Amino acid sequence: MEAFNNNAWCSFLFGVLLLSGSFVVFANAETHYHEFIVQATKVKRLCKTHNTITVNGQYPGPTLEINDGDTLVVKVTNKARYNLTIHWHGIRQMRTAWADGPEFVTQCPIRPGSSYTYRFTVQGQEGTLWWHAHSSWLRATVYGALIIHPAAGSSYPFTKPMRENVLLLGEWWDANPIDVVREATRTGAAPNVSNAYTINGQPGDFYNCSRKDTVIVPIDAGETNLLRVINAALNQELFFTVANHMLTVVGADASYTKPFTTNVLMLGPGQTTDVLILGNQVPARYYIAARAYQSAQGAPFDNTTTTAILEYKSAPCPAKGLISTPVSATLPAFNDTNTANTFTTSFRSPKQVAVPITIDESLFFTVGLGLFNCPKNFHSSRCQGPNGTRFGASMNNVSFVLPSNFSLLQAAHQGIPGVFTTDFPANPPVTFDYTGNVSRALWQPVPATKVYKLKFGSRVQVVLQGTNIFTGENHPIHLHGYDFYVLAIGFGNFNPQTDSAKFNLVDPPLRNTIAVPVSGWAVIRFVADNPGVWIMHCHLDVHITWGLSMAFLVENGVGKLQSLEPPPADYPVC
């Protein structure tokens, strides 16, 4: 996995690291050097060859494997024709917000022909994360797994699996995904849906020209193996199952969970789930399958099914031949919100945890869609959303607009005025029946670049309240720079009097992405102990495009160890 072979550059970087003097040295901790060359590569899927943007010619990109406590140094060179950034999804980036990656939030893009080196240390996170482009819709093909093994000398809190497999669920477009989002942005309409889902980049047996490349996942009778499932799809929550096999969930978003057993997973984009699978069935071939969980009513979606094959090594020979059809898998109905909710609410931390009890910041954010009336100077061809509008989305009615001249982080760090304001509202501007029949007068959000300021160390609670504006749907809300406890999830409007009684203050799960149920809410808590500018957004890329995000500006605390590090020398400027 050590893809790096430029020794001169390697030792130069090592020198820089030593000189910077600001990183903590862990016993046995290692520094891993990688080089990512991002460029167009010929990729053939669904019978056609495409010029696909990839990392090092691989789709999906390389899997990075480290131990907790290690440092990653990844030099990213942009040889594609688009602006680029890479985000290390779920890595806390303590004091290194410069390396987080969201375009115009923590950095300006890496321009075509340029490079930027991401440098960060992982502390106290174990399990499965991933990395992806965080610029336009490039992450459709620019993504890969990031596995964090226990620190040297420690082990999993479960029996060591015989084998480990990464299963990256993705989405494939026959069109260039960047063209798809550009067209949607021009017309104001909803973008086209994908043509296939993929497992490790392969659509699987149910698609044209794909069967010979279906991913095989090996198992043997009696083995317990670990599957690391990642939803890297752009715009779709997915159900996931393995025919005839139960799955024991042991982790999610690089935090361990109290084990529970299920036959189906539901992952929102951004989420990861680690499961143990026991080879206790007749040695044969079994389908591994994923397809949409579609919570929005009436909206078009990709209703295809991606598959891989769980293959017993001891399966009799004919069973391994292409002639034998694997045992088929059953997935829930597309709109099976009950199954999705049962799964989402099954998570607990393994032990009692230190949930912040007293709250300094009690925030209530609505999350949902919106529709912009057609601006006067726009031709009707640019207002092809419902009834001649343009699609939008917002949090607390603010439809987030990214700056273009500075990153928010640079502007905050250097005190550059005019880039953002700090008046992101703690509550929605009007109170209404969020999950009822919302008056058309409340559908239009206000575009702005607003952040919410947090004092270092403040204890924060956010109620994420879904709305039925245009349509209610499940929103996978992701916070950068933090893991948060999920105290409760429910349907309808959050009621502070009755719903606070349902808070799990004992063993709530720690996550970085929470799927807020359709026409429902979720309550999260975290301590603002990581200075920087951190975006919180819906991980359905189409919703980010429409403005479903906001950012927290977390101030420095006291002294160096509570302050953001200085920016790297090669930090991209706009």
Applying CB under 6 A, the residues found at the interface with ligand C2O are 87, 89, 102, 132, 134, 270, 478, 480, 535, 537, 539
User: 43, 12 in Cβ contact below 8 A?
Assistant: no
Min separation Cβ 512 and ligand C2O, Å: 8
User: 392, 545 in Cβ contact below 8 A?
Assistant: no
Min separation Cβ 76 and ligand C2O, Å: 16
Q: Residue 317 contacts by C-beta under 8 Å, 6 or more apart in sequence?
A: none
CA–CA separation, 507 and 539 (whole Å): 25
Min separation Cβ 400 and ligand C2O, Å: 12
Min separation Cβ 479 and ligand C2O, Å: 9
Q: What are phi and psi of 449, to 5 degrees?
A: -115, 90
In this structure, which amino acid lies at residue 144? G
Give the dihedral of Cα atoms 78, 82, 85, 87; nearest 10 deg: -110
Pairing of strands 247-252, 272-278: antiparallel
Q: Name the one residue in this structure whose structure tokens are 């939803």.
A: 231
Rounded CA Rg of the chain: 23
Min separation Cβ 539 and ligand C2O, Å: 6
Coil, strand or helix at 525: strand
Nearer to ligand C2O, 134 or 525 (CB): 134
Q: What are phi and psi of 37, to 5 degrees?
A: -100, 115
Min separation Cβ 316 and ligand C2O, Å: 43
Min separation Cβ 252 and ligand C2O, Å: 14
Min separation Cβ 291 and ligand C2O, Å: 21
Nearer to ligand C2O, 69 or 90 (CB): 90
Nearer to ligand C2O, 66 or 233 (CB): 233
Nearer to ligand C2O, 82 or 286 (CB): 82
Nearer to ligand C2O, 102 or 531 (CB): 102
Nearer to ligand C2O, 88 or 287 (CB): 88
- What DSSP character marks residue 103? B
Cα 135 to Cα 114, 322, 367, 547, distances in angstroms: 15, 40, 22, 14
In this structure, which amino acid lies at residue 462? V
Min separation Cβ 100 and ligand C2O, Å: 8
- Count of CA atoms in the C-beta half-sphere (13 A) of 32: 22
Instruction: Beginning with the edge strand found earlier in the chain, give each strand of the sheet holding 64-67 in spatial order.
Output: 64-67, 143-149, 127-133, 86-89
Nearer to ligand C2O, 363 or 544 (CB): 544
Coil, strand or helix at 17: helix
Going by C-alpha positions, the residue among 531, 535, 529, 558 that lies closest to residue 458 is 529
Nearer to ligand C2O, 90 or 508 (CB): 90
Min separation Cβ 268 and ligand C2O, Å: 11
Nearer to ligand C2O, 91 or 217 (CB): 91
* ∠ CA 107-112-115, rounded to 5°: 55
* ∠ CA 354-355-361, rounded to 5°: 140
Min separation Cβ 365 and ligand C2O, Å: 16
Nearer to ligand C2O, 268 or 279 (CB): 268
User: 311, 285 in Cβ contact below 8 A?
Assistant: yes
Nearest residue to ligand C2O, scored by beta-carbon proximity: 89
CA–CA separation, 541 and 82 (whole Å): 17
Nearer to ligand C2O, 233 or 374 (CB): 233
Pairing of strands 459-466, 361-372: parallel
Going by C-alpha positions, the residue among 89, 79, 148 that lies closest to residue 118 is 89
* Strand (E) or helix (H) holding 392: strand 390-395
Nearer to ligand C2O, 272 or 389 (CB): 272
Beta bridge partners, 166, equal 228
